[in-house]
Amino acid sequence: MLDRRLAATKRAQRALAELADRALNFDPAELADAGPGSGWNVDDYRRLLPSEPPGAPVAGASFEIARQLMSDYAFADPKIVRALYDPARGLANRNMLLQARFGPLRFLVGCRVGAIADETKTVDGRSLRIWGWSYATLEGHFERGQMDYAVWKWLDDGGVEFRIHVVSRPASVGNPLIRLGFRLVGRREQQRFARRACERMGELVERELARAGARRSTPAHV
């Protein structure tokens, strides 16, 4: 979700522009060995969405609605995280300035969109349509790692899911306030963000489907 209040501040606009010169704050090759004992936290979240008829995604149904919400970062709860980015640049390699909100505290951190998944694959003998994307943390972020967001549709029975996969660990930052804040609430807030993102995705998809149903059932005026 592109937050217009954040976009209105000169500080946020400068911070977004500066992300273009920042590198990732970790080596993506490290994620291949993430797991117990590696020092990386690995978390998975899943939210069932209203199902569709079997087969390819249906126009105007759950999969397509979720895909648009993901493109707009609308699943993020603005009470927890707000985002600023340039929508004209498209999704691939998009730099995103995130405002993390820990109670009264506000921190600006940067991420960059990496891989975009758009494929049909077989999982456990079942055909699955997947669309999604990931972003990775940039220098200056209080975390290191990557979050993957995806909408799945099982083509055999029409089941639709929103999924989040996270690999993360604390970053070394010089600001003692940020270090203390993340040590106290960072991990808890990260998990709260992901859980709430799943809930919000479900709410938004159901709301959009209800609106579409209401439009179809309203007679046209002559």
Instruction: Using alpha carbons, select from 148, 6, 149 the residue that is nearest to residue 69.
Output: 149
pLDDT at 185 over 80: no
**Calpha distance 201→57 (Å, rounded):** 17
Strand 95-102 to 160-170 pairing? unpaired
pLDDT > 70 fraction of the chain, expressed in percent and rounded: 90
pLDDT at 212 over 60: yes
Q: Which domains does the chain have, with CATH numbers?
A: 25-77+111-216 (3.30.530)
**pLDDT of 216:** 72
**pLDDT of 183:** 65
**pLDDT of 213:** 81
pLDDT at 222 over 60: no
